[in-house]
Structure 1
Amino acid sequence: MALVHSFYSSQQPSGENAAVQDQADALRAAGNDVAVVAAHTDALEQQHGYALRAAVRVATGRGRSPLAELEQLAPDVVHVHNLFPNFGTEWLEHWRGALVATVHNYRPACAAGTLFRDGKVCTQCPDGDRWAGLRHGCYRGSRTATMPLAWATRGGAAAHPVLRRADRIVVLSERSRDLYLRFGLSAERVALVSNFVDVPCRPHTGGPDAAPADTASRWLYIGRLSEEKGIVPLLLNWPHNERLDVIGSGPLTSTCRQLAPKHVRLLESMPREHILDLLPGYTGLIFPGLCFEGAFPLVCQEALATGVPILARAGTSAADTVRREGTGALYDTADDLPRALRDARTVFPGLREHCRRVYTERYTASSWSAAMAAVYRQAVNHREAAAC
């Protein structure tokens, strides 16, 4: 088996990069021979003319190809995670074996990959206005930078080279599945398999940052400090009688420092192991996202693994999953947040064991490996049938 992935720059920490590495490890642990065929932005962007070559590659599909390495490996299945921006797409038509693709975001339908613009959800491009992203400069705020992506996605999601060629397409949430079906993908090729996190069972050992001994509530936000994550409305509407810790960094770091009231602590990003130690000391995890999100976020899975319920803003993949699994509560708008926090203080303590159980049943490496084994078999069968 071969996983193909263009790794994003370390300057923009990516859960997608971590997920690919974790999935390779899980597949090996399940007894598979796995090779990761990779291109690393950190190394390639140092080369002269990288930006221009990447733009041409994205627009035309021509350029760096993993085909020679794949032919040498001869895997039963090729699993494409991300080709942008370091692999072309032209090679896909020359690979004759089974191919599975995971869509981690909405880039096949949206230049920004988020379906989010000017502070709100936007589906203009996939709904038919193919050049809206170019007009608005949706990728990095630049029309020039957006042009290759707008050209590459001009035919819509169903015509995207990866999604058109894939024998099976893995989506990571119900919302992502519903949106991609709306954007033209055929239901029989789409499989919903959530990501997973491998969280060892560990007791909460306390320490200087442990939860206080009193019974007051204490909340946690973990994530990028950027507009689509909803961090600014969260801080502006955070009630004075609730405590909040914010772990993360991003383009709005300085804005968050200015807005954060005294009872909100802004903490530096920290290793995952430290976060897992701290999580059980919180009343709940806050997920205030403003965009759809392509997946049930890994940080939410980590919260469940440590018995921490989730308070999510409605309209996100996280909220959809929390509602379906009963692992927390939702709020509709930032104005509704104080009421939701009051209600959650009463309900959340009784959900902790349920959260751990849901994680064990649905979000472990073993459950993911079993689900993906079925997807891989379906892809092989589909490819063999197509060859007949």
Structure 2
Amino acid sequence: MRILEINKFYNSKRGADKHFIDLIALLKENGHEVAEFSMFQEDNNYSRWNKYFLSKVGYGSGFSLWEKIKGAARMFYSFEAKRKINAILDEFKPDIVHIHNIYHQISPAILFEIKKRGIPVVMTVHDYKLINPNHSLYLDGKPYQRCANGKYYQCFFDKCVKNSYAKSFLASLEMYWHRWLGTYGKNIDLYIAPSKFVKTTLVKWNISAEKIIVLPHFIPFRKKDSKRYSFAVADKYAIYPGKISKEKGVDALIQIFLKQKGLKLYLAGEIEDGFEIPNHPNIVYLGFLKADQLKEYVRNSACIVSGSRLPETFGLIAIEAMVEGKPFLGFDSGAYGEIIENELTGYIAKSDEEFAEFLKKMENGSVIFNSDEIKKHVKKYDPENYCKNLIQIFKNIIDETNTKRKNIY
């Protein structure tokens, strides 16, 4: 099968982007022809299709004024995206297009060009941007749903995007624009939700349940010849691998571990939004680690932890813990409850106090996890099963598209 995979980033710094890259490798390993369409960045993975990648745009302090202006325009339409998507479609001629995150850096304008050719489009949902200008559905430490039922203007008044009136206004306008055009509703044939929680949320926000199928993400299993990193760690520690930000609840984690006596907190990831890590012996910042280095730290840890209260779409971090036979400790938010069984594969707490209390139980040995038992639960996230299920989904959509085309003629 010829599959065009599309995502706005082509590096593995974030969860959705890592899934995108791992999926491309998995599809190729199973004999499928895959082309990538993304945005140019200096640290991109290699792609023979990178001549079609869009020019870099962005919105932060590291981007030029012109890149910011182009980025704002691309939220609504992009002639460059139109030209380049048509060029890669002409050359690659895909049977199906599989999109991930395309808003802002890619532009949803590409969807109209794809559908003009009658090519089916499937979208894996990695966040909530489809239904809310605030892609996390979370604001000021609480679930954010004031934009429900098309009331996107609330985002502006609440500064729901980066605490900025300007960015929130653009994001609200973007939602109204694409709703009016029917950009997603008319052009997406099927949405893949990585959890039941995501499907329930999308249906609640008026996306048809008939257009949504639940397919949990897979986790790539470690190859036997994976490079090992040796280092001496005298500490007993828990590790958080991911974005270091208040949004991800790292501030709450730090406060919990500042009060711990025997267990330190190791943080591995990029610092975002100016987050400040306190200078304290209980908190150790490792920086952004390569995959194999991170795995060594995970293998030597007591557990993987997350302070996120976001309505997580899947919880890849929890699966990554299970692969290494480590328990995952997090909070009752989003899809975590579909993955973790309390005191068997980890623990899902309802409050900071409950989280801290469970850490103490682990430290004093009143709760003991069995590594082999934890690893057994990873089988349901097997890559080969995921690939078979995904390809069957693709085949079904292609068949439906061909049937509709025949009926028209």
Q: Would the TM-score normalized by the shorter structure come out above 0.5?
A: yes
Q: Do 2:343 and 2:367's aligned partners in 1 also have CA atoms closer than 8 Å?
A: no
* Residue 312 (str. 1) matches residue 309 (str. 2): no
1:138 matched residue in structure 2: 160
1:385 — aligned with what? Answer: 403
Distance 1:177 1:155, change over 3 A: farther
Instruction: Indicate conservation of the 8 Å contact 2:7/2:38, yes or no.
Output: yes
Partner of 1:57: 74
- Tell me how far apart the structure 1 counterparts of residues 373 and 160 of structure 2 sit (CA, whole Å): 40
Q: Letter of the aligned partner of 1:135 in structure 2?
A: F
Greater mean alpha carbon deviation, residues 136-145 or residues 225-234 = 136-145
Whole-Å separation in 2 of the counterparts to 1:253 and 1:171 = 32
Question: Is the CA contact (8 Å cut-off) linking 2:76 and 2:109 kept in structure 1?
Answer: no
Give the structure-2-normalised TM-score: 0.82
Q: Which runs of 4+ in 1 moved over 6 A?
A: 155-159, 203-206
Which residue of 302, 312, 317 corresponds with 1:293?
312
2:56 match: 44
Whether 1:364 aligns to 2:382 is yes
The corresponding residue for 2:282 is: 263
Q: Tell me the amino acid that sits aligned with residue 341 of structure 1.
A: L
Cα offset for 1:276? 0.9
Task: Tell me the CA shift for residue 367 of structure 1.
Answer: 2.4
What is the distance in 2 between the residues matched to 1:204 and 1:282?
Answer: 18
Displacement, 1:312?
A: 1.3
Cα offset for 1:112? 3.1
Q: Taking structure 1 as reference, are residues 324 and 40 closer, same or farther at Cα in structure 2, changes over 3 Å only?
A: farther
Cα-Cα RMSD: 3.0
Unaligned runs of 5+ in 1: none
Corresponding residue number in structure 1 for 2:262: 242
**Is the aligned partner of 1:19 residue 2:26?**
no
CA contact (8 A) 2:76 2:108 kept: no
Question: Per-residue deviation at 1:327?
Answer: 2.0
Paired positions, count: 378
- Distance of 1:100 and 1:118 partners within structure 2: 33
Q: Residues of 2 paired with 1:326 and 1:188: CA distance? A: 34
With 108-117 and 337-346 compared, the bigger mean Cα shift is at 337-346
| 1:365 to partner: Cα distance | 2.4
Distance 1:337 1:87, change over 3 A: closer
Is this contact kept in 2: 1:59–1:152, CA < 8 A?
A: yes
1:1-388 aligned at under 5 Å gives the runs 1-7=3-9, 13-40=13-40, 43-45=55-57, 49-60=66-77, 64-65=81-82, 66-93=85-112, 94-154=116-176, 161-200=183-222, 207-210=230-233, 218-238=237-257, 239-243=259-263, 244-251=265-272, 255-258=276-279, 261-297=280-316, 299-323=317-341, 326-344=344-362, 346=365, 349-359=368-378, 361-387=379-405, 388=407
C-alpha separation in 2, matches of 1:220 and 1:102:
28
Shift of 1:157: 7.7
Distance 1:196 1:347, change over 3 A: farther
Summarize the Cα distance change of 1:133–1:313 in structure 2 as closer, same or farther, 3 Å threshold: same
CA distance 1:79–1:347, change in 2 (3 Å) = farther
Does the 8 Å contact 1:221/1:246 carry over to 2?
yes
2:67 maps to a residue whose letter is: Y
Q: Any stretches of 5+ residues in structure 2 without a counterpart?
A: 43-54, 58-62
Structure 2: distance between partners of 1:36 and 1:95: 18
Q: Which amino acid aligns with 2:231?
A: P
Relative to structure 1, is the Cα distance of residues 4 and 47 closer, same or farther in structure 2, using a 3 angstrom cutoff?
Answer: farther
